[in-house]
Amino acid sequence: MTPAHIFQYRLAMPSCRVYPGAHVGRMVSSGHLFKQHEPLIAHPDPRRIDLRASVLDVFGQYRVRVYQQHSLIDVLLLADLSTSMGQNKALLLDCLESIAESAFSYGDRFSFIGCGSETSARYQLSHCQQRGALRAFSQQLQTARFTPQNPHWQSALPHLPSCPSLVFLLSDFHFDLSILSPILPQLRQHDVIPLVIWQTGDYEQLPEWGLVSFQDSESLATRTLFMRPALRRTIVQRFQQRRRQLQSFFRRYGCEPMFLQDRFQAAQLQAYFLQRAA
Amino acid sequence: MMNLAVDTPWWLAGLLLTVLPLFNSGIQPSTYPWLPLLPIDPLSQAISVLLRACAMATMAALVLGLAGLHETEQSRECIAYGANIVLLLDRSNSMDNTFAGKTPDGANESKATAARRLLSDFVEQRPHDLLGIAEYSTAPLFVLPLTDNKAAIHAAINATATPALAYTHVSKGLSMALDLFKDQPLSGSRIVLLVSDGAAAIDPDSELQLRLAFKRQNIRLYWLFLRTANSPGIFDKPQDPRDDNAGAMPERYLHLFFSSLNIPYQAYQAESPGAMQQAIADINRLEHAPLHYRERIPKRDLSGDCYLWATGLLAMLLAVKFF
């Protein structure tokens, strides 16, 4: 994995994890950012005794300088494993690798939860910090069988950490959004980033003329379309409309979706985080 | 009203195959993530339904073609101006000679050829007649029952081009001609057109039977006598009263017999093709009575049409497939 494939990210809120890491946290310990003075009895580290503060202390106690500790965070990737994602498998693996590598570069822990018709332990990776485990899991995911049903996001919720974490929601969102609306409020404590993956072959790169038959990957219903430029324009408009609908839907829950087309680009995610920090 | 039937009904079990296109559109579908995202397009729906209908029609046409679909024989009631005509043709040797009694050369045609040509024209001019043909020589020959099939009539007339046979036995021929009218509905006028170049004596037994039959069948008789040069005519009286008998002058006595039948009878004595044509035109003009008959429409094979349709539809479906 070359550095071009990783991106830098920040959590919108401070971490509450006790383990030291790279992100702003709530823990006070060793660090570079002065946070407050504390009695020596609370932080028995004589190296940090602040003499000036101790002299000024009305109770004549020794005061110790404590610093804000940088903590690690959990990075989670919740991926839709329904059949419609079958065509996006390569993208999914790229995405998994990039996000995991980026997390490793911060020393953060990476978890993956696959949501098919249910959340199976087979497609789950918890608190991974080793590349070997990631590679093994990635290989296992390559042979994954996608379930022909809408993803059951509800079953993923118990596996989420209680502390604020960075949660990527990876799906094509080709389902009725009403199944997602009870889930998003429960993810409010986390920093949720919906990644919408679409294949341009599904709308922009359709043929201008011809007779095509489409079979729904999940319901297996078929529909024959007589393609012509006007119909293709209508389809592209439908996708643009859907894009606006997704944006307004996720903004209602305080997250901004990111649209990935055809392939995963870490630079795109990088730009997303830079934009958010600005 | 179409009456359809098939040759091998068990092939019709193949009609079950026509439901196949309902399950398989024939187009390899490509997977699509979410169909509800695609707009509902009435034109596409119409084309899809049309293609399925075409595929079903192709199957049905092929199966019906295999089963041998055909229209059954039917009859149609017709009313026309015309007559029931039986042509009674002489096939004796002498018919192959010219009117001058010689072997035909390039300039002069034989009596049979002239009769054939003129009768063909006669048939052409009378589209609604029912025609039957009988011939006689030594024995009567049954050629064609009463029919309105012009092709068959022309073929029967042309068939007299084969070399003629032996003698003239007119009474047997007449009774066969009258037999043709048996079991026919009594409608329109019934005509026997006797074309001969000679006659023979009629024996008393046949004479009685013929008298009865002519009366019973309500026949109008025309005799087109093709007289050879220097032979006795039908209206001639012999100079010598001793020759005035059926053996010596059969033509005259046949004419007398016909005249004594008390039926509408007309004799024409033609001595050249021109005179013969005149006589036939005369008959043509006289016989125009309303005629009520049933026209028979033969069985019509429709499997060819079925295959044609199937080919056309298949070509269309293939064109769509490679479009």
- Write out pLDDT tens, residues A66-75: 988 888 899 9
Q: Closest by alpha carbon to B115, among B92, B138, B145, B141?
A: B92
Mark B10-48 as b/e (b = at least 16 C-beta within 10 Å). Answer: ebeeeeeebeebeeebebebeebbbbebbeebeebeebb
A84 contacts B34? CB cut-off 8 A: yes
- At residue A196, φ and ψ (nearest 5 deg) are -100, 115
Under an 8 Å CB criterion, which residues of A touch B?
Answer: 84-87, 172, 174-175, 199, 202, 210-219, 221-226, 231, 234-235, 238-239, 242
A202–chain B nearest CA distance, Å: 7
- Type and span of the H or E element at B49: helix B42-67
Question: Which residues of chain A fall short of a pLDDT of 50?
Answer: 1
B47 contacts A174? CB cut-off 8 A: no
| Dihedral sign for Cα atoms in the order A243, A194, B36, B317 | positive
The answer, yes or no, to whether residue B310 has pLDDT greater than 80, is: yes
Record the tokens describing residue B293, joined without a space.
Answer: 């008959």
Residue A76 CB-density burial (10 A; 0-12 exposed, 13-18 middle, 19+ buried)? buried
Pairing of strands B74-90, B189-196: parallel
For chain A, how are helix, strand and coil distributed in percent, rounded to 5? 35, 30, 35
B46–chain A nearest CA distance, Å: 10
Residue among A85, A175, A217 whose CB faces B32 most closely = A217
- Number of A/B CB contacts below 8 angstroms equals 79
- Write out pLDDT tens, residues B162-185: 766 667 778 888 888 888 877 777
A163–chain B nearest CA distance, Å: 34
Amino acid found at A87: Q
Average pLDDT estimate for B174-201:
78
- At residue A4, φ and ψ (nearest 5 deg) are -65, -20
Listed by start position, the domains of chain B span: 4-24+45-72+298-321, 77-295
> Rounded CA gap, A178 and A181, in Å?
5
Q: Closest by alpha carbon to A116, among A78, A158, A165, A77?
A: A78
A222 contacts B25? CB cut-off 8 A: yes
Residue among B41, B48, B320 whose CB faces A231 most closely = B41
Q: Closest by alpha carbon to B54, among B95, B94, B25?
A: B25
**Helices (DSSP H) in A41-193: which residue ranges?**
51-56, 89-106, 131-142
DSSP A92: H
Beta bridge partners of A159: none
A211 contacts B320? CB cut-off 8 A: yes
CATH T-level assignment (fold) for domain B77-295:
Rossmann fold (3.40.50)
Closest chain A residue by Cα to residue B32: A216
CB contact at 8 A, B37 and A196: no
Residue B76 CB-density burial (10 A; 0-12 exposed, 13-18 middle, 19+ buried)? exposed
B-chain residues near A261 (CB < 8 A): none
- Write out pLDDT tens, residues B124-146: 877 777 888 888 877 888 888 88
pLDDT at A99: 92
CB atoms within 10 A of CB B210: 19
Q: Closest by alpha carbon to B53, among B18, B82, B78?
A: B18
- At residue A49, φ and ψ (nearest 5 deg) are -65, 130
Q: Could you tell me the pTM of the whole model? A: 0.64
- Which domains, ranges and CATH numbers included, belong to chain A? 20-71 (no CATH), 74-273 (3.40.50.410)
| Dihedral sign for Cα atoms in the order A245, A250, A254, A258 | negative
A172 contacts B41? CB cut-off 8 A: no
B30 contacts A235? CB cut-off 8 A: no
pLDDT band for position B41 (50/70/90)? Answer: confident
Q: What percent of chain B has pLDDT over 70?
A: 95
Packing angle, helices A131-142 and A89-106, rounded to 10: 170
- Write out pLDDT tens, residues A102-120: 999 988 999 999 888 777 7
Q: Closest by alpha carbon to A195, among A252, A136, A273?
A: A273
Residue among A85, A214, A217 whose CB faces B38 most closely = A214
B-chain residues near A200 (CB < 8 A): none
- Report the range out of A97-111, B144-158, B210-224 with the highest average pLDDT: A97-111
pLDDT at B282: 77
Q: Closest by alpha carbon to A172, among A194, A191, A153?
A: A194
The answer, yes or no, to whether residue B96 has pLDDT greater than 70, is: yes
B60–chain A nearest CA distance, Å: 23
pLDDT at B57: 93
Beta bridge partners of A76: A111, A167
B-chain residues near A177 (CB < 8 A): none
Going through chain B in order, the beta strands assigned E by DSSP cover: 4-6, 30-32, 69-71, 74-90, 130-136, 140-147, 189-196, 219-226, 265-270, 289-297, 300-301
pLDDT at A193: 93
DSSP A84: G
B27 contacts A224? CB cut-off 8 A: yes
B-chain residues near A223 (CB < 8 A): 35, 38, 44, 48
CB contact at 8 A, A27 and A71: yes
CB contact at 8 A, B122 and B195: no
Closest chain A residue by Cα to residue B22: A222
Terminal CA-to-CA distance of chain B, rounded, Å?
Answer: 40
DSSP A149: S
Q: Closest by alpha carbon to B21, among B63, B41, B50?
A: B50
DSSP A6: -
**CA gyration radius, chain B:** 31
Q: What percent of chain B has pLDDT over 90?
A: 9
B-chain residues near A179 (CB < 8 A): none
pLDDT at A2: 58
B-chain residues near A202 (CB < 8 A): 32-33
Q: Which of A80, A173, A196, A214 to mutate to test the interface with B (most CBs of B within 10 A)?
A: A214
Coil/strand/helix, residue B124: helix
In sequence order, the 6+-apart residues with CB closer than 8 A to the CB of A243 are A196, A259
Higher pLDDT, B173 or B104: B173
> Rounded CA gap, B98 and A66, in Å?
148
pLDDT at A179: 87
- Type and span of the H or E element at B280: helix B273-286
As a three-state string, the secondary structure of B87-110 is EEEECCHHHHCCCCCCCCCCCCCC
CB contact at 8 A, A229 and B45: no
pLDDT at A218: 82
Residue among A84, A211, A235 whose CB faces B38 most closely = A235
Beta bridge partners of B222: B193, B266
Place of tokens 């649209």: A259
> Rounded CA gap, B40 and A226, in Å?
11
A213 contacts B29? CB cut-off 8 A: yes
> Rounded CA gap, B9 and B29, in Å?
36
What is the predicted ipTM? Answer: 0.74
